[in-house]
Structure 1
Amino acid sequence: MENKDNIHFRTCNLCEAMCGLEIRHRDNRILSIRGDKKDPLSQGYICPKALALQDIHEDPDRLRQPMKKTDHGWVPITWNEAFKEIKTHLRPLQWRYGRDALGVYIGNPTVHNHGALLALLPLLGALGTRKRFSATSNDQLPHMLVNLKLFGHQALFPVPDIDHTDLFICLGANPMASNGSLMSAPDMRKRLKAIQNRGGEVIVIDPRKTETAKLADQHHFIRPGTDALLLLSMVNVLFHHQLVNLGRLQPYVDDVDLVELACQSFTPESVADSTGMSPEVIRDLALGLAKTPKAVLYSRMGTSTQEFGALSTWLVNVLNIITGHMDQRGGMMFTKPAVDLAEITALTGDKGHFDRYRSRVQKLPEFSDELPAATLAEEILTPGSGQMRALITFAGNPVLSSPNGKRLDKALSQLDYMISVDFYLNETSRHANLILPPVSPLERSHYDIGLNAVAVRNVSKYSAPLFKPSKQAKTDWDIMLELMRILSPRSVAGKFGSTAQYQLLKALGPDRVLNLLLQSGPYGLHPGKATRAIQALFDLFNDALPQRSQLKRAIRLSPFGEQNRTLVKGLSLDVLKNERHGIDLGPLQPCLPERIYHDNTKINIAPKIFLKDLSRLQQTFKKEQDKEPLILIGRRDVQSNNSWLHNSARLQKQNNRCELLIHPRDAEKHQLTSGDLIEIQSSTGRLKLPVCISDDLMPGVVCMPHGWGHNRSGVALKVAGQNPGASMNDLTDAECVDRLCGTSVFTGIEVNLNRI
C-alpha cells in the first residue's frame, strides 16, 4: 500500500485545458498518471496527452546538458562553457551590426511555464531588439488585436461562459479535440452534453464535420476563408429585423451606427454562393443568437489563421455585443484571475500597441513589439540595413509551425549564430550552434499565469516539482536570466539597470515573484482589523486621486479595490501549497464597464482599421473564379499538440495519422481510393502523403494535420522519425498573410493533387 507521499497532484502543462493530474510514483519512477477528481476545473478528466509527461521526462532523446555543434557533430559542454561561447559570439555581432541583428522567436510552451513567462519581458528588454517573433502571429494575434481595439487591452480576452449557456455556436473551432482554445475547458464532451441536457443547443459551422460537429445538434459546412461574409450577413439580418440589443452595455458602446452602415450590402442572399451556406440557414443562425437569452458565438483557429482572420474575429465580437451576450451570464465573459496580467501590465502602461513600425520587406505591421512570424525567413535572407544575423529560439519549432517551412529551413542555415533553448534536437534546433536544454516539466514548479486568463472558471493551483533536478540542471528562468546578464546593454546606465534587475530576480526566483503577485492581487491579504484600517485609508486616498490615475487603477487591482472586497481572501503561495488540488475562485462574473481600458471607458465597436478592411474583402470575393481548385485546411489531433508530442511512444502507437482527408466526389474526380499515395502541390511546395476518403469534408476541401514532417536530416527524435508524416507548412506561403495584421494563413490554401 502506497503512502500519501507517493501521490503528487499537478496541473498538466501540455495544452490549454489545465487538467488536474494524480501522479503515483516511487523511487523516482512514475507508476501511473490519472485525472485528479478533486481538481476544481477538470474534476478527474484527462486527455491522452497527459501520459506524455512521463514519456518526456524519461525520453532518452531529451537533452540534459548544453550541446555544441562542431565539425565532428554535437558534443556536450558545461553551462559555464556554453554561456562563455554566447558572450564570445553574440556580443561582438551585436556591437558590429546593431541590436536588431539579433532576433528572438518564442514558442507557445513559454505560456505554459510561469518561470519562463516572468523572465521573458526582462530578457527582451535587455536584448533591445525589434526583431521579435513568436507563435502569436501563427495563432491568436487577431484575437489580441480585437481585444486591444474594442476593449483597450490586448490581454483582456472574452471567454464563452459555456457552463451556463443555452446556445453555443462554434465557428471554425474544434473544442472536442482542443478542450478549448482561448477557452480553457477540460472535458468538453461533458460540457457540451450539459448544454443539450438542459434543453440547449450546440451548432457547429466548419468545412469539416469535426469531432465537435458530430456531437452537435446542427452542423453546417462553410467554404474556407469566407467566415467574414457569413458574419457580416448575420449582422445585416439583426439590423434588418431590428433585433440589435446592447442590454446594460448600451451607454458604453460607441458607433453602432457605423456597424449598421458597414453591413448593409452583405445580405444572406449576396453571400450564399461564396460561403456555400443557404440564406435560410444564415437567418436562422442570426435570429437564434438574438432571441436566446443565454447564447454565445465562439470562433478560433479556423477564423484566426485565414486571409480575413482579424476581420472575422472582430465580427464575432460585434455579434456577441449587439445581441446582448457580451459580459452576460451564458455569453462572452471575462475572468478575474488571481494573477491578473491585464491589470498588472496596464499599470505599467503596456496595454498593447499596433503598427508603430513595419517589417523590412513585406512592410507588415508590428504588434506589441513583435513582427509577424511569416517575415522571419525574409528578415534573415534579405541583405541590407537591419538584416538578421543571429537568432535565439525559446521552446519553438518554427520550421514546422510557420509558413513556408522549407524557406525558413534554408534561412536558418545561413545565420552567423543561433541558440535554441530547447530539450530536443528538432527540425529548428538542428540549425543552432548551441542548444541549451531546460529541465523537464516535472522537474520544475508550475502555475498557469497565462491560461487562467482564458479559463471558463476562476481557479488557482500551484504544483511543486515532482522530481528534484540534478545540481547541474537549469530551468528556463535560470537560462533566461543568464542570457539577460550576458547580453545586457553596454551603456553605463543600461548596464546598471540590467544588473540590478538581474540580481533582484536572481534572489527572488520565479516562485517568490509569483507569491508577490498572488498576495497583491484581487484575492490576496487576509481580512482583519489591520486590513480594514488600511482599506479605510485607501478609500480616502482613492477619492482624492484623479479618475485616470495609474495609482487609482493600482488600488482597484489590489485586494482593497471596491469590486474585490467580497472575493476570497488570503491567497498566497503557502496557501496553494497546502491546497494540493487547487482552489475554486468561482464562476465568471460581469465586470464591464470597469474592465474597459479605453480612457472613455467605452467599447469601440467600430474601429477604423476593420471598417477599412471591408473593401479588401469585397474586392477579393468579386473576382471571378475561372477554376475550382481544391482548398486545403488543417486539423488538430487530440494525441498531439502542434509538433511537440510526436516523440512520445505512448501517443504514437497507432498507424500513420498524417493523411489527407478528401471528399468522395473529389476522390472520384482524381481517381483515388483510400490508402493511395498522392502528391499535393501548392504555389510554394509539394509533398507526398496517403489519402483517406471521407464524407466528413465539404466537397472541394481537403484536410491534413499540422505539426508533422520529422523527416529532415540531423534530427534526433527516434520515435517521431519512425512515423515522420509530412509538414503542412511546406505548402503554405509566407507572403500569403492577413494583410491587416500579418497573421499567417493556414486555412484556405489552393492546392492540386496528382496520384502517384
Structure 2
Amino acid sequence: MPETNSSSPPKTGDLEEKITYCSICEQVCGLKVTTKGDQIVRIEPDKENPYSWEDFCIKAATSDELRTHPARLLSPMKRVGDRYVAVSYEDAIGEIADAFRRIMDEDGPDAIGSYTGNPNGFCFTNSVFHNAFMDALGSHNRFWVGSVDQNAVHYVGEEMYGSAWTALIPDVDDCKCFLLIGSNPAISAMNWVGAVPRGWKRMLEAMSNGAELIVIDPRKTETAQKADLHLSPLPEMDWAFLLGVLRVIFDRGWVNEKDCAEAVGVDEIKRIAQAVNLEDLSARCDIPVRDMEVVAEKFARAETATCLARTGSAMGRNGVLTEWLTHVLNLVTGRTDRPGGRILSQGVANVMDLGANVFVQSRTPSRVRGYAPVAGAHAVAEIPDEIETPGKGRLRGFIINGGNPVVGGPDGDRLDAALSKLECLVAVDLMQRESHRHAHWLIPGVHFLEREEIHVLIGCMHDVPFVQGASAVVSKPSGVRHEWEFYKRLAEALGVTLFSGVFAPDPTAVEEALLGMGGRMTREKIKAHPHGVIFGERQIGNLRKSLYTPDKKIHACPPDLAALLKSRLAEPASRSDIAQFPYQLITRRRLQMMNSWLTESSGTRIRKDVGSAIEINTGDATRENLQNGDLVSVQSSIRAIEAVVHVSSDVRPGVAVMEHGWGSRTFDPVTGAVLSERGKNRNRLVSGEDLDPLTRVPRFNGVPVRIERRP
C-alpha cells in the first residue's frame, strides 16, 4: 500500500483543527479535535486517517469530560489527617523517596510494589518509565490489570510460541468461517492484544460475501444476533465444547497434515481428545453432540476459518484452557498464520522480538502463594496477602498507576482494608478514585489529549503495517508534569539508574531506540504523517520464523496445560454447589463505557439502572416470582450486594448478568467529599482465592450466586 500524507491542520478564525488518536483502547481511532485556545470544542473522527477512524465511538467523543472533570488532580497532594493539601513536586518526590528508601533499607526492594491499569498501558511514556523505575529499584512485586481479563492470551503465547507477547490477529477480510468464543465485537470492537480497525464492519462485509459466523456465548449478544449459528453454553465450559469439536475433527481426519507435522505435541492433544466421551463433554457445556459435530464440519471444511476467544471466556477459572484450545483448533486445521486465519501482528517492529529483548519479564514467584508471574506481573488477587503476611519482602510501599483494583479486581473489600495498612501508598491518576482512599500521596496524571508520543508497542500490533504519533491537542494544566517526569525525578532522588543506562532517560531517546530495533520506520517519517501511515503491504507467514520456543516449533500441547485439562476432565460434570447457588454471574460490555474505568464520566450518559441491574432469564424470573424493577440480594460465597432485576430472553437459564467496573466513587481530596458514585461493584462477590490455576485470573465470569427478593 502507498504511503499517505496530508497538509497541516487548517485554522478557522480562532478555532483550530488538530489531529491525534484516541488512547482508550487498542483501536486507536484517528481523531480530529477542534480547539479554541486550550478549550476543546468538538471531537470527531479523523476521516483522513487511512486506517483506524471508523470505530470512533462515544467514549472518544466525550473523552474531554474526563480531562475537565471537577475532581481532576492539578498538583501533588499530601495526606494530612483525613484530608489532603497541595504540595510541590519537589517536596512530594523528596518525601516519597525518603519513605521508599527507609522501607527498602529495612526490608529490601520487594517491599515496594506497584499495580498498573489500562490508562498506564495506553500511555507509552508512563508505562516504560514506570517499568524502568521498578527495574531500577530491583522489585519483582508488580501487579497488573492483565490478571483481570488478559493473562490467558499471554500465558498461551509463552507456552505455545515462546513469547507472552505473541499477537495473532484474525484475518477478517479473507475468512470464510468465524468461530467466536465469548467475543462481542459489535460492542467491544475487534481488539485484544492486537487490533483490527473496523473489524466488525469488515466481518459483516465478509458475511455478505458468504462467510459464516458462529458465536458461542451464554448470552445472545449484539454479535450473536447477527450470527448464522449461536450456541449458548454453561459459563466456564467453553473448553469442553472446543475439546468436543477437536475430537470430531480428529476422528474424521479433517486436519492439515503438514501443519500438524511441523508442530510439537499434536499427537498428545489428539490422544486426550479421543479418550473423552462426547456425551460427557456435551453434559459439561450443555451443548448437544450434534451441534459440536455441525460446528466441527463447518469450521474444518471451510475454505478459510478463524477461531478466537476473548474476555468473555478469559475472565474465569478455565479461561486459559479455552484460549489454548482455540489455538489448537486453528493449528490442526491449518488456520495458524495462514490467509483467513490468525496472522502475526504487523507494525513498526516484531512485537515478539521486543518482548524477548526489551520488555524482559520477571520469573520470580510471589512471596506468599508462590505463583509464577504472567507476562512479568503477578495477579491483583495476590496483593492483600503480600501486604498482610509478615516476613522479608512484605509490601510496605506501593504505587497504583492509572488503575482502580479495588473495583476492577476481586474481593475489593479485602483489598481496600489491606491498602489501608501500607506505610506509603502513592496513587498516580487523573483523580482520586475508590482505590486511592488510603493514599498518602496523590500524583496528577496527564490526559491523552495533552501528550505527544509514539506508542511503539501498540504500533507493533495491527493487522497491517500502520503507525501514528499522538499529538497534544491542548496543553496540560499549568504545573502538572508528565508521569514519566515524576518517575525520572523519583529515580534521581533515590539514586537509581533508569533503563540500566542503555537508553537515555528521555522519551524521544527510548522511542527512537525501539523504532531502530524494528528498522521499519523512523521518528521523522512518523511525524511527517500526522494522520498516520500505512507503510507497507500486509505479510502473512512470519510466525514460524519468529518463534521463541527452544526448538523453534509451535508447541501444541504444553505439559501444564495438558495437566490442567486432564484435571478438569476428572471433575464431576456438574457443579456440586448448584442447589445453594443456582445461578452463575457473568459480565457484559456497553458501547458507552470502558469496563473498569471511565464510568465516572461517560457512564452519566446511559440508563440509570446500568451498573445496578442484574439481568436474568424470563423463565428464571417467572419461577422466582420476580419482575422488572424488583430489588434483590445477590449472594456469593463471600458477600452479598443489592441489585435491580432486569428480565430478558437474551440470557440462558441459570445465568445472571451484571456490568463490570461500577461502584467506584470519586472524591474531592481537599474536603473528602464523595463527588460521584453510581452502580454496584459486582466484583465484591468474587473471591480472590478461586482462580484460574495457571493465569491467576479470578472467577469474574461464572461465580456461583443466589438471587433473593429483598423485603
TM over 0.5: yes
Q: What CA distance in whole angstroms lies between the structure 1 residues aligned with 2:261 and 2:297?
A: 24
Give the alignment of 1:102-501 within 5 angstroms. Answer: 102-182=112-192, 183-247=194-258, 249-250=259-260, 252-347=262-357, 352=361, 356-470=363-477, 472-488=479-495, 495=496, 497-498=497-498, 501=501
Local SS of the residue matching 1:365:
coil
Relative to structure 1, the CA distance from residue 681 to residue 59 in structure 2 (aligned partners, 3 Å threshold; closer, same or farther) is same
Per the alignment, residue 78 of structure 1 pairs with 88
Per the alignment, residue 3 of structure 1 pairs with: 12
**Aligned mates of 1:296, 1:308 — CA distance in 2:** 21
1:599 aligned partner: 550
Q: TM-score, normalised by structure 1?
A: 0.87
User: Which residue identity does 1:579 align to in structure 2?
Assistant: H
2:172 match: secondary structure: coil
Which residue identity is paired with 1:266? V
What is the one-letter code of the residue matched to 1:417? C
Corresponding residue for residue 505 of structure 1: 504
After superposition, give the CA deviation of every residue in 1:660-683 in whole Å (9 maximum; x if it has no partner).
100011111221101111110101
Q: State the secondary structure of the residue aligned to 1:169.
A: strand
Question: Could you tell me whether the CA contact under 8 Å between 2:667 and 2:673 is conserved in 1?
Answer: no
* Unaligned segments of structure 2, at least 5 residues: 1-9
- Contact (CA 8 Å) 1:208, 1:697: kept in 2 or not? yes
Q: Quickly say closer, same or farther: Cα 1:515–1:675, change in 2 above 3 A.
A: same
3-state SS of the aligned residue for 2:180?
strand
Measured after TM superposition, the shift of residue 52 of structure 1 is: 2.8
Residue equivalent to 2:33? 23
Distance 1:117 1:710, change over 3 A: closer
Q: Report how far residue 396 of structure 1 moved.
A: 0.8
> What one-letter code is carried by the residue in structure 2 that aligns with 1:443?
E
Higher mean C-alpha deviation, range 475-484 or range 690-699: 475-484
Q: Provide the secondary structure at the position in 2 that maps to 1:421.
A: strand
Instruction: Give the 3 Å change call, closer, same or farther, for CA 184–345 of structure 1 in structure 2.
Output: closer
CA shift, 1:653, in A, is 4.9
In structure 1, how many angstroms separate the alpha carbons of the residues matched to 2:146 and 2:435?
18
Matched residues in 2 for 1:642 and 1:66: separation?
A: 27
Identity, % of aligned positions? 28
Is contact 2:186–2:223 with CA below 8 Å preserved after alignment?
yes
- Measured in 2, the distance between the counterparts of 1:162 and 1:265 equals 34
- 1:492 corresponds to: none
Consecutive unaligned residues of structure 1, counting only runs of 5 or more, are 489-494, 524-570
Alignment partners' CA distance in 2, 1:76 and 1:236: 63
The residue that corresponds to 1:627 in the other structure is 578
**Equivalent residue of 1:104, what SS?**
strand
For residues 699 and 575 of structure 2, the distance between their equivalents in structure 1, rounded to whole angstroms, comes to: 21
Does residue 1:515 correspond to 2:512, yes or no?
yes
Partner of 2:646: 692
Residue in structure 2 matched with residue 564 of structure 1 by the alignment: none
Would the aligned equivalents of 1:707 and 1:727 in 2 still touch at CA under 8 Å? Answer: yes
Structure 1 residue 252 displacement after superposition: 2.8
C-alpha displacement at 1:357, in angstroms?
4.3
1:149 shift after superposition: 1.0
- Letter of the structure 2 residue corresponding to residue 655 of structure 1: K
Cα deviation for residue 588 of structure 1 reads 4.6
Mapped to 2, the partners of 1:12 and 1:603 lie a distance apart of 35
State how far apart, in whole Å, the 2-side matches of 1:165 and 1:211 are.
20
Alpha-carbon spacing, 1:44–1:738, altered in 2? closer, same or farther (3 Å)? closer
CA offset digits 1:213-258 (Å, max 9, x no partner): 11222211010011111111111111100111154x3553112111
Q: For the Cα contact (< 8 Å) 2:349–2:515, is it kept in 1?
A: yes
Go from structure 1 to structure 2 and tell me whether the alpha carbon gap of 1:461 and 1:246 turns closer, same or farther (over 3 Å shift): farther
Shift, 1:631, TM fit: 0.5
Cα separation, 2, equivalents of 1:19 and 1:384: 47
Map residues 733-744 of structure 1 onto 2, 5 A cutoff: 733-744=687-698
Which residue type is aligned with residue 501 of structure 2?
Q
- Residues 324-363 of structure 1, C-alpha deviation per residue, up to 9 Å, x if partnerless? 0000111010113104342134235x6657xx54334433
| Contact 1:364 1:741 (C-alpha < 8 Å) held by counterparts | no
- Give, in whole Å, the separation in 2 of the partners of 1:341 and 1:74: 42
CA distance in 1, matches of 2:16, 2:203: 35
Please say if residues 645 and 651 of structure 1, whose CA atoms lie closer than 8 Å, have aligned partners that are also in contact.
no
| Letter of the 1:97 counterpart | D
> What is aligned with 2:562?
611
What is the one-letter code of the residue matched to 2:73?
A: L
Deviation at 1:98, TM superposition (A): 1.8
Shift of residue 282, structure 1, vs aligned partner: 0.7
Report the CA distance between 1:471 and its aligned residue: 5.3
Change (3 A) 1:138 1:76: same
CA distance 1:721–1:685, shift in 2 (3 Å) = farther
- CA deviations 1:114-164 (Å, max 9, x no partner) are 112322332121121122111121121111111111111111121111122
Q: TM-score, normalised by structure 2?
A: 0.93
**Within the alignment, does 1:678 sit opposite 2:635 as a pair?**
no
Structure 1 residue 209 displacement after superposition: 0.8
Change (3 A) 1:623 1:23: closer
Match of 1:647 in 2: 600
Backbone CA RMSD of aligned residues: 2.4
AA in 1 matched with 2:213: V
Partner Cα distance (2:672, 2:376) in 1: 37
| Letter in structure 1 aligned against 2:133 | L
Per-residue deviation, 1:419: 0.4
